[in-house]
Each structure stands twice: as C-alpha cells, then as structure tokens.
Amino acid sequence: MSTDAALRARAAKVIPGGMWGHLNAAKLPEGYPQFFARGEGGHVWDVDGNRYVDLMCSWGPIILGHHDPVVEAAARRQADLGDCLNGPGPVLVELAERLVERIPAADWAMFMKNGTDATTACVTIARAATGRGTILLANGSYHGAAPWCTPVPAGTRPEDRANQGRFDYNDVASLTAAADAAGSDLAGIIITAFRHDNVVDQELPSREFAEAARRICDTRGAALILDDVRAGFRLHPGGSWEGLGVRPDLSAWSKAIANGHALAAVTGRDSLREAAASVFVTGSFWCSAVSMAAAVATLEELERRDVVGQLERLGLMLREGLAERARGFNIGLRQSGPVSMPLFLFEGDQEFRAGRAFCAAALKAGAYLHPRHNMFLCAAHTEADIALVLDAAEAGFRALAA
C-alpha cells in the first residue's frame, strides 16, 4: 500500500469524508495524491516521494515559489521575536504602509486570515457605509465559503443569502438591471478580478463592464468591491483592475499576499475609512506578526523580481506550447484566462473525461495540473519546468489520442 493510501485509510476514520473542502482529492483523477510531504521552488513532493512541477501552487498562495528563502528568512526573524501577542507588532504598520504605497485604490488596510474574512468584511463595510442592504454578485462567482457565499447550500438558510442581487459577469445590461432592481437599497457590487468560475472558460473583464460597475456605484452612492483574493498580485502589482483604469472602493486580498503564510487583507478608500472603523470584525490570529513579516518580504520581492512580467512570459510559453501540441494531435483544447492563471478545458468534454485522462497522464510524467480549476504559475518556475510540463502534456495528448 502506498503511504498516501495508508494515510487516506487513517483519515477516513477521523475526518468526515476523509477530507473536506477544496483540498479533497477524491474528485481528482486516479493517481493524484491526497497528502504532500514538501515543497521547494516550483516543485512539490507527495508522501510517496514523487516530485511534480507544481502548477497549482497551493491553489494560489505560492507566488514566489515554495520555501522562498527571502520570505522564510523574514518570517523566521519575526518568529524569533514573537507572532501572536497582546497586540500587533510594528510590522502591522509597515505592511499597511506598503499596501497603501503600492495600491493606488488603497488609503488604508486591515488584516484577517481567510479570503472569506476579507470578502465578508468588504460587504459589511459597504453596508455600514451606505446604511443599505443589497449587495450584487455575479452568477457563478466564488467569493468564499461562508453561509452568505458558499457554493454548496447544505446547512445554510435562505436568509443567509438575503439582501443579494445577481447579474452575469461582463454583461452590462444585466448589471444595470440588477442595480435598478436593488433601487435605493444598493449597498455595493462585488466582482472577482476576472471571471474564474468553477468549470467554465475564464473571461477577462471588459473595460466597458468594469467602467459600468464603477459608474453605477458612483451615481448610486454604492461601494465597488473588487474580490482580488484569487488573482491579487499575479496580474498587476497595484490591483487587478489597474490595467483597466478602474479603481474599486474596497478590495479583498489573500492567497498570494504572504507567499503561503495565512493572511488576508481589505484595502479601501478614504470614503470608506469611517465605516471600516465602525464594524466589528476580528480574530484571535489576525495580527500574527509572522504572516505580516512574510507579506512585507513577499511584496518587496514581487517588485524586485518583476514577478508579474515573469509569470506572463512563462505563462505565454506554456499557452503557446500547449496550443501547438494540441494542434499536432488535432485535439480541441480551450485555454482561457490570464496566461499566469491558466485553465485548460477540452471541447465537448462535459463530464471532464478527456480532462481527467489528460491530467492523469501528465501527472505520471511529473506535472501536477488540474482538470477543472484554474492553475497558478509562480516565480520559481523555470523555462525547464515549463518544458517539462509541455512534455507531460504531450503524454496527456497522446493518451487522449490513443
């Protein structure tokens, strides 16, 4: 029995369903490990000693690479002083200042642990600021796993999703209609940095859509909330909509902010500062200094290494290489979203059989890909890693063609 299988058998006894949440490997193709032993740079090792080029990057948090030496040294220096104390360390102020410097839409910052903490705080702040209730969300968008936003309704109640309106991503008419329906109760609009809904092609936001969201919030006195939890720092160092020239009132951050250390943040504009100070959101570990020291180091390294540019170059190499190989096999491969956060889906593959067979073969060849979820590149990936992924993909295409 493999070590992974032995651990799964033990887990089945003491963990409901053997594993919970998005890290449950039960729905991944045969051969995917549930348990991991370690990570280094752009690679991870499972508990049976198999090494993979890691294209999930821990589902987003790893942006510089596993065990980044600069980040880990900063974390260790802070850990030698203290982590969770009776109040924050000086690093809280330093981190907030860095974010305000680097994010044009940020006049202030607050910190949490989960992306869901940050999106929930944004919604709460928008409601406190406006004294209104309705928040608009795009159909299919993921904003976290609290009762108000979890995609699986088990154990939630209809009231958890009260005070919400829905629109379609990138559809100005449906957004306008939802805002009209909310009328004078419109507190805010929350939008993911790009459309990265589960199991459908990704879509970048159109400039028209982003500008319409901004205009609707401006004319109706509502707050525009950018959910940058998943994409933050991978597309633009100052916020994912900077390239569009549209600035949110509130932004939710997490995932990559501290290169794997548990941290989330809300940043906002001065107009929302008083409301942010009025709400009571808190947690026992929200001021833990080690994650903040890791975040300061991560932000510095992102800039110093031009990580956005580097991820784009690597991502383009991957995208073009995959397209070329798919054409060679005459396979209909759809690639969507930013090149640094790629999603591969196969034409006509409603049940993901092709995707699963492709990924299972690529896994055996040393590339850890995902058959349905967007993936993530990191700055520790090398051209040799991308070449290995392309060879692994070739094995995947060969399996499909067979």
Exposed, middle or buried: residue 154 (CB in 10 Å: 0-12, 13-18, 19+)?
Answer: exposed
Q: 3-state DSSP call for residue 109?
A: strand
Site string for a copy of itself, 178-217 (x = CB under 8 A): ----------------------------------------
Residues 307/80, Cβ–Cβ less than 8 Å: no
In the complex, least distance from residue 166 CB atom to a copy of itself, rounded to whole angstroms: 16
For residue 165, the cross-strand partners are 136
**CB of 16 or CB of 348, closer to a copy of itself:** 16
Q: List CB contacts of 121: < 8 A, sequence separation 6 or more.
A: 110, 112, 252, 266, 279, 281
CA-based nearest residue to 251, from 276, 274, 278, 277: 276
In the complex, least distance from residue 286 CB atom to a copy of itself, rounded to whole angstroms: 7
The residue range among 115-123, 220-228, 304-312, 348-356 that interacts with a copy of itself, by the rule CB under 8 A, is: 115-123
Residue given tokens 């705080």 in the structure block: 121
**CB of 66 or CB of 214, closer to a copy of itself:** 66
Q: Is 324 in the site for a copy of itself (CB under 8 A)?
A: no
**CB of 294 or CB of 311, closer to a copy of itself:** 294
CA atoms within 13 Å, Cβ hemisphere of 59: 11
Residues 398/325, Cβ–Cβ less than 8 Å: no
Query: 338 to 397, contacts with a copy of itself by CB under 8 A?
Result: 368
The residue range among 151-159, 200-208, 300-308, 312-320 that interacts with a copy of itself, by the rule CB under 8 A, is: 151-159
Q: Is 402 in the site for a copy of itself (CB under 8 A)?
A: no
Exposed, middle or buried: residue 162 (CB in 10 Å: 0-12, 13-18, 19+)?
Answer: exposed
Tell me which H or E stretch contains 289: helix 289-304
Sign of the alpha-carbon torsion through 361, 374, 69, 237: positive
Q: Is 27 in the site for a copy of itself (CB under 8 A)?
A: no
Q: List CB contacts of 306: < 8 A, sequence separation 6 or more.
A: none
Query: 69 to 98, contacts with a copy of itself by CB under 8 A?
Result: 72, 79, 81-90, 92-93, 96-97
Q: Is 159 in the site for a copy of itself (CB under 8 A)?
A: yes
Q: Which of 36, 211, 243, 329 binds a copy of itself (CB under 8 A)?
A: 36
Q: How many residues bind a copy of itself (CB under 8 A)?
A: 108
Site string for a copy of itself, 230-269 (x = CB under 8 A): ------------------------xx----xxx-----x-
